[in-house]
Structure 1
Amino acid sequence: MSAEYATFGLAPATRAGGLLPGGDYQVHRDFVDFVVDGRPLLHRLSDLDAVSPLASDVPPSLFTAQVRGLLLEAGAPLPAGRFIVYGCPECEDLACGAVTAVIEPDGEDVIWRDFAWQTDTHADLELNGYHGIGPFRFRGTEYRTALAALLDGRAPGARRRVLLIGARVAQLARLAAALRTIGVGADIAQNADRVPADELRAYGAVVFGRSVRPGERDAVRRAFTTAGVDVPCVDGLAPAVPLLVAQTEQALDRGAPGQRRLTDLTALPAAAEFGVTSSCRVRLTAYRVDRLSRTHARDLFDAVLEPGRHRVPLDAAAVRGEAYVVARTAGTVLVTAVGRR
């Protein structure tokens, strides 16, 4: 098979979890994505909510088996030499649908070809093939070196635990319960003074309650610096659990800025503006805190958008007073306060 060479790499990625209006939720998943010619392969698949088989929250033996398969050291799990490239983020059932491809050697090179959407053991390329994707020819040394790094423990590790700092235990307990619901571990403390350095290095983010004073926040940051770890710190915008969960998901996003589907988000009472790097579904939700400290949530927008800059008008009643907007795709969550002119 003749094909131009494509570069192959791996990068940490996240399928963002969250609490959605109406009581639904989606699970947080950390995984390693495939990067082809400098761009995440997942972004070439329009509006696909999926993760690669290289998920960091699966048992090590299963993770190793997936890597060995991609290295062609084991047989393909599906007929005709097909491998699962992306699957359901909630389970491992092929019936939910998966992107598969033939992965085969060609001398020293490795070929990925015949991408298709598959829901049973056989793929119908005519009906469900991704005809505009691939084939990709990877140099064998580059391909095997990238995957072997996962087996050697040199890939970025997931830190799915969050440290919640504050004195209002009831509010933090609700937040911790919500984070655990979507698969993110959470611990509560008033400070980090006596937390061992090994434990601090296990956290992927710190969330400060609104009652934590600036000096106390600085002390927590110093404790992490002393432990030799740099973690994002989240200042809670409002006592609204879904909003705090969204802020935490934004902080846990380990992807490089250039590999995120949402690049930025700003909001004024009239409209929200944001950038999209690849075709994807974007949802906007407003959270408003009234004078009695009650939180009101409203879905504002839900559509598949093409790459570029977008401006979405906002309902003035939904963002009146103290208000915030959450923009969400399958892999990115951004939160911003609604500014005032």
Structure 2
Amino acid sequence: MTDQLELATLHRVGSTSPLKKARYTFDFVVNGASLFKATEASSLDMCGCLSDPRFEPEVADRFNGGIASLLTSDVPVGGGHRASLFVCSECGDLACGAITVLVARNDLVVQWSDFAYDNGYKAGTKLAHVGPFEFEWAAYLAAIRRADAD
């Protein structure tokens, strides 16, 4: 049995002191459980890597296609790579810290495993309590593509 992936809108409230930009991004919800909460990205003031086009159409138009490709078409059949799921709410830079996952694929399924907190300059901190998850390819692709369509 495969896991079920959904996208749910995340809202980061903005403020003027300290200056924080309001953001509308997506949480990855697996089998009804928020990965934003499970990975503790919420306590690190992160946001989802995909912007919600209903609220941030310019940002979504500029970045969602490339980010979605890293999670889908850029993953070679029989191979895989690391991708960011949650990033810095202000700049999205890996150096500020990100929650990453190893995305691997075969013809029928995509697997998310080896969740970690990464910052690009120190060894990643594994999040052993999260995953692995396995998604049926067609349903997974449809879920990620919804980030561009909403």
* TM-score normalized with structure 1 length: 0.38
Alignment match, 2:36: 42
Segments of 5+ residues of structure 2 without an aligned counterpart are none
CA distance in 2, matches of 1:37, 1:51: 20
Specify the SS of the correspondent of 2:88: coil
Please say if 1:54 is aligned against 2:50: yes
Specify the SS of the correspondent of 2:47: coil
Q: Are residues 123 and 141 of structure 1, via their aligned partners in 2, closer, same or farther at CA, if it must alter by over 3 Å?
A: farther
Please say if 1:111 is aligned against 2:111: yes
1:110-259 to structure 2, matched below 5 A, reads: 110-120=110-120, 123-124=123-124, 128-151=125-148, 153=149, 155=150
Q: Note if contact 2:75-2:104 (Cα within 8 Å) is conserved in structure 1.
A: no
Shift in Å, 1:48: 3.1
CA distance in 1, matches of 2:2, 2:122: 28
Q: AA paired with 2:49?
A: P
Q: Note if contact 1:103-1:112 (Cα within 8 Å) is conserved in structure 2.
A: yes
Please say if 1:6 is aligned against 2:37: no
Shift in Å, 1:84: 0.7
| Equivalent of residue 12 in structure 2, options 11, 15, 19 | 15
CA distance in 2, matches of 1:59, 1:141: 22
Q: Note if contact 2:29-2:35 (Cα within 8 Å) is conserved in structure 1.
A: yes
Shift in Å, 1:92: 2.0
Shift in Å, 1:75: 5.5
Specify the SS of the correspondent of 2:116: strand
CA distance in 2, matches of 1:6, 1:31: 22
CA distance in 2, matches of 1:107, 1:59: 28
Shift in Å, 1:133: 0.5
CA distance in 2, matches of 1:121, 1:54: 24
* TM-score normalized with structure 2 length: 0.82
Q: Deviations over 1:196-249 (max 9, x none)?
A: xxxxxxxxxxxxxxxxxxxxxxxxxxxxxxxxxxxxxxxxxxxxxxxxxxxxxx
Q: Which has the higher contact order (CA 8 A, sep 6+)?
A: 2
| Equivalent of residue 21 in structure 2, options 22, 27, 49 | 27
CA-based RMSD of the aligned residues comes to: 2.1
CA distance in 2, matches of 1:62, 1:40: 23
Q: Note if contact 2:10-2:48 (Cα within 8 Å) is conserved in structure 1.
A: no
Q: Deviations over 1:136-169 (max 9, x none)?
A: 1111121111122333x2x2xxxxxxxxxxxxxx
Segments of 5+ residues of structure 1 without an aligned counterpart are 156-341
Specify the SS of the correspondent of 1:148: helix
Q: Are residues 123 and 107 of structure 1, via their aligned partners in 2, closer, same or farther at CA, if it must alter by over 3 Å?
A: farther
1:53-92 to structure 2, matched below 5 A, reads: 53-56=49-52, 57=56, 58=59, 60-71=61-72, 73-74=73-74, 81-92=81-92
CA distance in 1, matches of 2:137, 2:122: 28
Q: Are residues 135 and 68 of structure 1, via their aligned partners in 2, closer, same or farther at CA, if it must alter by over 3 Å?
A: same
Q: Are residues 139 and 54 of structure 1, via their aligned partners in 2, closer, same or farther at CA, if it must alter by over 3 Å?
A: same
Shift in Å, 1:87: 0.5
